[in-house]
Chains A and B, each alone.
Chain A
Amino acid sequence: MEANEILAKAESLRNNLSTGFRDEIVKSLYTEAENIAKRAVKSTSDKKYDFDQKIDRLVTSPYTGLPIMLLLLGLIIWLTVSGANVVSSWIAVVLFGIGDYGRALFNQIGIPWWITGFLWDGVYLGLAWVVSVMLPPMMIFFPAFTFLEDLGYLPRVAFNMDWMFKKTGAHGKQSLTMAMGFGCNAAGVIATRVIDSPRERLIAILTNNFVPCNGRFPTLIMLATVFVAASFPPALTSLIAAATVVGVVLIGVMFTFIASWVLSRTVLKGEASAFTLELPPYRRPNVSRILYTSIIDRTIFVLWRAMQTAAPAGAIIWVLANIPIADSNLARAIADWLNPFGLLLGLDGVIILAYIIAIPANEIVVPTMMMVYMGAGMMINGPTNNTEIFNLLVNGNGWTMLTAVNLMLFALLHNPCATTIMTIYKETKSLKWATLSVVMTLGTAIVVTFLTASIARLLGWV
């Protein structure tokens, strides 16, 4: 037969197929599989799902389901906050020690000050900061997250929360990608691959940034500790700080829902489409796999990406801080120029400058701010004691409660970091969506902080 004849024959045969022939094919595959399974697998008793059912009843019931969810969220954040602080300072001591040693060595062999400064006080210090600030929370958060994932609990969260996502036109699995976003928004954006409908996936991608990532936790923790927890007894400090951060996170969740709702009524119009969610049986977590996935696949992967962007950012910061202008430096001059805009948002010029420099990596916002406030030539830890930080910010640089609150809001809502923007571009293959993700979040941050600042000033709170 000629090729054309065969094609024509196929064409004519196709018209006689019943419409459900694809269903029949799948059905026969399943029947065949069942037969094979029956021959090969011997089951002594009918497997019951009693145990799973009991847990499921507990974690999805109206009275215990939501509290368990919030408790677990709070617990993970508290573990991260309190554990990370300690480890962070150890790592900082070691890494900054190496920096001091390297600087001394360079000075000894007579290398010009600006090369030493650029390399050790700029690039190296940027890296050291990111590693010491970012690594500890990730090493606590990612294993905890992977543990819940391995256990099979996370799909239950999606199951519990789906009604809310459905109302906003989104997909329940978005809650999983949001949970991932706590670790790293870029990782969260990649995690949206589990959502199989394009519209809902785009919503999840664009709103993922409203979940604060590890890189933004240090800012939130610092503010929560210095401005909120400081008025409580010292024993409660880490608990109150964690509770404050949980509060900020919940505000972020609220913005996620608002943004999803707005998106599915404007640019991503449509009703929620196909929703299927598998709730796997509970399994005993596999410790070695958890450690491998969380440390190698997630922590090291994210850290490496952050380091790539932190090194150039560190260099830029050093350059800005070391170009003298009048009796100050370029960083201070730019900050002064940005100050009116910053004040309009209830922030100040230094914070805006820190956020512009920190576009590659949000971790360095706090050290950059401290550096400019203190007029230093390099990122320094500044005061470590809470009272000293409070003095520097409030008495030295005119901070108020409004500045602290608005900085928390800005840290929560502002544009994604460079890595996340790149990831969004790669995942959507569209400049348009990447741009929208920036415009939407930055716009929200500016509008919200402007409103809170204006309201606070109108009511005479500040």
Chain B
Amino acid sequence: MNITIWLVLTIILLAVIFIPRVGLIAIYKTYRIAQAREQVEDALKHLLDREQQGRHASPESLGGTLDMPRGNVTRLIEDMETQGLLESRGTNLFLTTEGERWAMHVVRAHRLWERYLTDEARMPLEKVHGEAQRREHSFTDAQLNDLDAALGHPTRDPHGDPIPTREGTLLKAEGMPLTAWQSEGPARIVHLEDEPALAFEQILAAGLRLGQTIRILDRNSQRILLTDGETEYRLAPAVAANVSVAALPESEIAKASAIPLVELQHDQRGEIVILDDAVQGFTRRRFLDLGLTPGTTIYPELQNFFGDPRAYRVRGTLIALRKDQAAQIWVKPI
């Protein structure tokens, strides 16, 4: 009697541990595989990131990013080398073609998810990165293509970084060398060339950064004089050729002469200039559906007794918007 019970219990216990696919061991294995994959992918991302910054990755930088002890890093690098994902030359690590393809895949997954979470799930921006970090590891190319299409082939993630295309290429920054920029108007620095290193160091030493909005004050054969509105920068033409600039996006220019709808006074009429770039996906579609298109006349009509929301008359209908929404619609007072 007792023995039978023990026998049955032992069999059940063994089954729970050893059964393929659903047993404890199988679950643990799946978990380990997923863990290993995440590690490899995070390492690939780090290498790609470094390459794009024009710096070299090293076992130290990798260990720092992954928060991993030295011995494990060495083992991880060896593993990845045998898989043909990276090469180490001296103290530097380089992605192979295969490694770069995979890294691009992960970056694409991450940025597409960020786009989805912001636009469709409408998650707050500060939570988006962490959530995308969790989701980026388990998707196939086909699934990503579907996500890409469903989102309408976005080109940039919510932070403004480009999303790799399905072929695994990053959109080329459509800039031109500063030396070729002829316009008087403002331009945005879209790329800093890191080769040759000497020129790159001079650019950084001058204090120029990626994404800065600048304007050319003066130029001659000796130097180009720039300003960002506060500081003046001086660059030799040979160095300036390594700085790529592009025209500001239309939305930036349009915003310059407009105010957010939320600041429109009660007896003031406004004409919608543009919807903020930060409004994408669902919310933007909703705004457009309601007729909040550029060129439309809009004016506040009804104030809630606590100040928020406010109702606006647009195209003959009355639409209530909260302050956060009204701050994303840019209008020109008329």
Residues of A at under 8 Å CB distance from B? 11, 14-15, 18-20, 22-23, 26-27, 30, 47, 49, 52-53, 56-57, 60-62, 65, 155, 158-160, 162-163, 166, 172, 196-199, 269-281
Taking CB atoms, residues of chain A closer than 8 Å to B316 are 47
B4 nearest CB across to chain A (Å): 37
Taking CB atoms, residues of chain A closer than 8 Å to B229 are none
Taking CB atoms, residues of chain B closer than 8 Å to A62 are 305
The docked-state distance in angstroms from the alpha carbon of A61 to that of B302 is: 9
The answer to the question of B250 belonging to the interface, with a C-beta cut-off of 8 Å to chain A, is: yes
CB <8 Å contact, A273 and B122: yes
Q: A49-B313, A163-B304, A163-B308 are in contact. List 5 more A-B contacts (CB 8 A).
A: A26-B288, A57-B302, A197-B122, A198-B122, A277-B321
Which residues of chain B from 294 to 330 have any CB-CB distance to chain A below 8 Å in the complex? 294-296, 301-309, 311, 313, 316-322, 324-325
A28 nearest CB across to chain B (Å): 9
Taking CB atoms, residues of chain B closer than 8 Å to A196 are 282, 286
Taking CB atoms, residues of chain A closer than 8 Å to B171 are 15
A415 nearest CB across to chain B (Å): 29
Taking CB atoms, residues of chain A closer than 8 Å to B324 are 272, 275
Chain A: which residue is nearest B122 at the CB level? A273
CB <8 Å contact, B283 and A274: yes
Chain B: which residue is nearest A273 at the CB level? B122
Q: What 8 A-B pairs have minimum CB-CB distances, sorted nearest first?
A: A62-B305, A273-B122, A163-B306, A279-B318, A277-B320, A26-B288, A274-B283, A27-B293
CB <8 Å contact, B319 and A276: yes
CB <8 Å contact, B153 and A14: yes
CB <8 Å contact, A274 and B127: no
Contacts A/B (CB < 8 Å), 27 sampled:
A20-B251, A23-B288, A27-B293, A47-B316, A53-B301, A155-B320, A159-B309, A159-B311, A162-B320, A162-B322, A163-B308, A163-B309, A166-B308, A196-B286, A270-B123, A270-B124, A272-B322, A273-B283, A274-B282, A274-B325, A275-B325, A276-B287, A277-B309, A279-B311, A279-B319, A279-B320, A280-B318
Q: Interface readout for B175-217 with A: 1 if CB under 8 Å, 0 if not?
A: 0000000000000000000000000000000000000000000
The docked-state distance in angstroms from the alpha carbon of A26 to that of B282 is: 14
B136 nearest CB across to chain A (Å): 21
Taking CB atoms, residues of chain B closer than 8 Å to A57 are 302
B123 nearest CB across to chain A (Å): 6
CB <8 Å contact, B308 and A277: no
CB <8 Å contact, A277 and B319: yes
Chain A: which residue is nearest B172 at the CB level? A15
Q: With A159-B302, A276-B286, A276-B287 as known contacts, state yes or no: A23 contacts B309, CB within 8 Å.
A: no
B279 nearest CB across to chain A (Å): 9
CB <8 Å contact, A172 and B309: yes
Q: With A23-B275, A271-B124 as known contacts, state yes or no: A160 contacts B317, CB within 8 Å.
A: no
Q: Indicate which residue in B155, B293, B309 contacts A275 across the interface (CB closer than 8 Å).
A: B309
The docked-state distance in angstroms from the alpha carbon of A458 to that of B171 is: 71
Residues of B at under 8 Å CB distance from A? 121-124, 127, 152-153, 155, 165, 171, 249-251, 274-275, 277, 282-284, 286-291, 293-296, 301-309, 311, 313, 316-322, 324-325
Q: Indicate which residue in B122, B251, B275, B313 contacts A274 across the interface (CB closer than 8 Å).
A: B122
CB <8 Å contact, B155 and A19: yes
Q: Indicate which residue in A56, A162, A197, A271 contacts B302 across the interface (CB closer than 8 Å).
A: A56
CB <8 Å contact, B322 and A30: no
Chain A: which residue is nearest B251 at the CB level? A20
The docked-state distance in angstroms from the alpha carbon of A23 to that of B273 is: 12
Taking CB atoms, residues of chain A closer than 8 Å to B291 are 30
Taking CB atoms, residues of chain B closer than 8 Å to A166 are 308, 322
Chain A: which residue is nearest B301 at the CB level? A53
CB <8 Å contact, A199 and B122: yes
A166 nearest CB across to chain B (Å): 7
Q: Indicate which residue in A47, A56, A162, A279 contacts B308 across the interface (CB closer than 8 Å).
A: A162
CB <8 Å contact, A20 and B309: no
Taking CB atoms, residues of chain B closer than 8 Å to A277 are 309, 319-321
Chain B: which residue is nearest A61 at the CB level? B305
Taking CB atoms, residues of chain B closer than 8 Å to A276 are 286-287, 290, 319-321, 325
CB <8 Å contact, A162 and B309: yes
Q: With A275-B309, A277-B319, A279-B311 as known contacts, state yes or no: A30 contacts B293, CB within 8 Å.
A: yes
Chain A: which residue is nearest B288 at the CB level? A26
Taking CB atoms, residues of chain A closer than 8 Å to B293 are 23, 26-27, 30
A271 nearest CB across to chain B (Å): 5
The docked-state distance in angstroms from the alpha carbon of A196 to that of B285 is: 12
A9 nearest CB across to chain B (Å): 14
Chain A: which residue is nearest B167 at the CB level? A11
CB <8 Å contact, A27 and B295: yes
The docked-state distance in angstroms from the alpha carbon of A99 to that of B47 is: 82
Taking CB atoms, residues of chain A closer than 8 Å to B153 are 14
CB <8 Å contact, A65 and B305: yes
Chain A: which residue is nearest B318 at the CB level? A279
Taking CB atoms, residues of chain A closer than 8 Å to B317 are 278-280
The docked-state distance in angstroms from the alpha carbon of A166 to that of B303 is: 16
CB <8 Å contact, B295 and A278: no
The docked-state distance in angstroms from the alpha carbon of A64 to that of B80 is: 71
CB <8 Å contact, B122 and A60: no
The docked-state distance in angstroms from the alpha carbon of A53 to that of B313 is: 11
B324 nearest CB across to chain A (Å): 8
CB <8 Å contact, A198 and B288: no
Taking CB atoms, residues of chain B closer than 8 Å to A56 are 301-302, 311, 318
Taking CB atoms, residues of chain A closer than 8 Å to B282 are 196-197, 274
Chain B: which residue is nearest A60 at the CB level? B302
Taking CB atoms, residues of chain B closer than 8 Å to A19 are 155, 249, 277
Taking CB atoms, residues of chain B closer than 8 Å to A27 are 293-295
Chain B: which residue is nearest A274 at the CB level? B283
Q: With A276-B320, A277-B320 as known contacts, state yes or no: A22 contacts B283, CB within 8 Å.
A: no
Taking CB atoms, residues of chain B closer than 8 Å to A65 are 305
B269 nearest CB across to chain A (Å): 14
Q: With A163-B304, A163-B308, A270-B123 as known contacts, state yes or no: A275 contacts B294, CB within 8 Å.
A: no
Central interface residue in B122, B251, B274, B283, by most chain A CB within 10 Å? B122
CB <8 Å contact, B302 and A279: yes
B31 nearest CB across to chain A (Å): 22
CB <8 Å contact, A160 and B304: yes
Chain A: which residue is nearest B295 at the CB level? A27
Taking CB atoms, residues of chain A closer than 8 Å to B306 are 163
CB <8 Å contact, B121 and A198: yes
Q: Indicate which residue in A22, A155, A198 contacts B152 across the interface (CB closer than 8 Å).
A: A22
B253 nearest CB across to chain A (Å): 12
CB <8 Å contact, A159 and B304: yes
Taking CB atoms, residues of chain A closer than 8 Å to B124 are 270-271
Central interface residue in A52, A155, A163, by most chain B CB within 10 Å? A163
CB <8 Å contact, A60 and B304: yes
The docked-state distance in angstroms from the alpha carbon of A269 to that of B124 is: 10
The docked-state distance in angstroms from the alpha carbon of A166 to that of B309 is: 9
The docked-state distance in angstroms from the alpha carbon of A60 to that of B313 is: 16
The docked-state distance in angstroms from the alpha carbon of A274 to that of B68 is: 41
The docked-state distance in angstroms from the alpha carbon of A15 to that of B153 is: 9
Taking CB atoms, residues of chain A closer than 8 Å to B152 are 22
The docked-state distance in angstroms from the alpha carbon of A162 to that of B305 is: 10
